[in-house]
Amino acid sequence: MNLRKKYLVYIMICIGFIGFSQENPVKTSMDTTFIRIGEQFQYKVSVDGEDQVIFPKLQLDSLHKVEVVEAFPVDTLKNRLEKKYVLTSFDSGQYVIPQQQLIVNNKKYLTDSLLINVATVKVDTTKQKLFPIKAVMREPKTADDYLHLWWLIFPLLAIIAIILYFILRKKAKKEVVAVYVPPIQEAMERLKALDEKQLLKQHKIKLYYSELTEIVRAYIEKDINIPALESTTNELLETIKDFNESSKLGISKETITELKEVLQNADLVKFAKSKPIVEEIKTDRTLSERILQNLKPIKKTENELE
C-alpha cells in the first residue's frame, strides 16, 4: 500500500506540472545572467499558440538600476508571439527583474522573475597607459555672448548723439547771420508792398490809411526811438516837438506839419468815416514817403556834440 501511495503522489505531481505548463503559455528568458557595467543584454517574453496578446510595459527593479535601451516590435513566429527588449545597467550588483503581467485572450498571466548580475570593469593601472588631462575646450562665441556689451554701447551712443546735437545746433546758430536792414529801407519796402496790394481799387480806404500810418509810426519808433505805435496823433506830435527841441534832432517844422496832416487825415477816415477822393489819398501817400525821408535824424559831428 505504501508503494502505491508513493506512485500516486508522483503521478499527481507530474499531472500538476503538466497542467500548470498548459495553463500558463507565457515564457521569459535572458541571453545572459552576467554583464559588466554598461553592457547590454536581451530580455525576451514569448507566448505559445495565442493570437490576442497584450505585452507589458516593463516594470523594472525598484531601485531603477536596470534601464530599457530599446523595445522591439512583436515578432510572429510559428505558433508563437515574441517580444524582445534590450536592457542595461550602470551600477554593479544583483538586480531582480520582477514579474511582468501579460493579458492573453483577456486573461492575466505573470512572467517569471529573473536575476541579473552586474560586475564592475577592472582596470590594470600597471598596463594601462596614462594620458595627460585634456584642457577644457571652449565653445565658439555666439551673438548671445556679446549681449551684455549692448548695455554699455547704447548709453555711450546716446551720449555721443546728444553731444553732436548740441555742437551742430550751436554751429548752425553761428552760421545764421542776422542781416541788418536800416529802418528807412524797411519802411520804403513796406510802402512798395502796400502799393502792390491795390487796396484803393478794392475800396478799402480805411485799411489803406491804417497800414500807411502804421508804416510811418513804426519807422519813428525804430529810428528816432519815440514811442509812436501806441500814441495818439496829438501825443506823438507833442513828443516829436519836445525831442526835436531838447535833443536837437534837426527835423524841420515843415516835415512835422506834413506828418500832422497825414495822421489827421487818417484819423478822419478811421474814426469819422471820412471818404477822401483818390487824389487826396495819393497826396497823403506822397507826403508819407517824403516824411520818412525827412524824419531821418541828422548825424552830428563830434564838435557839434561838444
Q: Decide if domain 24-118 falls under CATH 2.60.40.10.
A: yes
- In the predicted structure, residue 70 carries a pLDDT above the cut 70: yes
Percentage of the chain modeled with pLDDT above 90: 10
For residues 247 and 249, give the distance between their C-alpha atoms in angstroms, rounded to a whole number.
Answer: 6
Please tell me the distance from the alpha carbon of residue 117 to that of residue 140, in angstroms, as a whole number: 44
The one-letter code for the residue type at 146 is Y
pLDDT of 18 reads: 45
pLDDT in tens, 91-121: 888 888 888 888 888 888 888 888 889 888 7
Q: Right CATH number for 183-298 from 2.90.10, 3.30.60, 1.20.120, 1.10.357? A: 1.20.120
Q: pTM to 2 decimals?
A: 0.42
Domains 24-118 and 183-298 share a fold: no
Length of the chain: 306
Domain boundaries, given as residue ranges, for the chain? 24-118, 183-298
State pLDDT tens for residues 229-276.
888 989 888 888 888 888 777 788 898 898 899 999 889 988 888 888
Task: Express each pLDDT in 9-46 by its tens digit.
Answer: 455 544 444 444 446 788 888 899 889 998 989 988 88
Cell readout for 20 is 500548470
Least confidently predicted of 163-172, 243-252, 295-304: 295-304
